[in-house]
Amino acid sequence: MGPNESIVAVFADHPHAEEAIKKLAQDGFDIKNLSVVGKGFHTDEKVTGFYNQGDRIKFWGTRGAFWGGFWGLFFGGLFVTIPVFGNLVVVGYLATAVIVAIENAVVVGSLSALGAALYGLGIPKNSILRYETEIKADGFLVMARGNAADMLRAKTILSALNPTTVELHADMKPI
C-alpha cells in the first residue's frame, strides 16, 4: 500500500516554491513523493518553450532555470496547455495523474484535467477549486505524499516557509 496522505502548500512565487522543495528534500523526503505545479511562463514574455537535451530539458523564459532544474530533479514532468490555465508545468508524481486524466478524457464536474487528477488522488473538490484559482493567479503548488507522521512533519516544515495556504489531506486513495 502506498502513501495515503497528502499535503498541499501554495506559494506566491517560484523562488519560495523552490525553497520549499529544497527544504523537504534536505529533511529526508523522497523526491518521488514531491510535486510542483505552476504556470510555465509570464504573459509578458514573447518566447516560451522547451526542448529535450538527453536526460535534461531546456526551458526558455524567465522561469527557464526554475523549471529546467526541477525537470531533472524529478526525472521528468509534463508541459501542457490546459484551457483557462494556459501553459502549465507539472513535475513529480502528480504529472502521471494529469497525463492519465488527459488521456482518458476524465471530466469530473467542472474540473480541469489538473483538477480531475487531484480529485483522482482523493483531494476534495472545494480544495481543488482553491488550488486552481491560485495557479490561475500565478501561484505554485508544492505537494508531498506519505504516511501521517511524515505529512505532519512536512506541514511543520512548509508552514515555517510562509505559504499562502497549507492543507493536510488525510485518508487519500493509495497510489
Q: Which grid cell sits at 87?
A: 501553459
CB atoms within 10 A of CB 141: 23
In 3-state terms the chain splits into helix, strand, coil percentages (rounded to 5) of 40, 25, 35
Euclidean distance between CA atoms 101 and 128, whole angstroms:
15
Per-residue pLDDT of the chain (175 residues; tens, 9 = 90+): 355 789 999 999 989 998 999 999 999 999 999 999 988 654 444 444 444 445 555 554 555 555 555 555 666 677 677 766 777 778 777 877 777 777 665 555 667 788 888 888 889 989 999 999 999 888 999 999 999 999 999 999 999 999 999 999 986 554 4
30 Cβ neighbours under 8 A, 6+ residues apart = none
Amino acid at 98: V
Cell (9 digits) for 86? 494556459
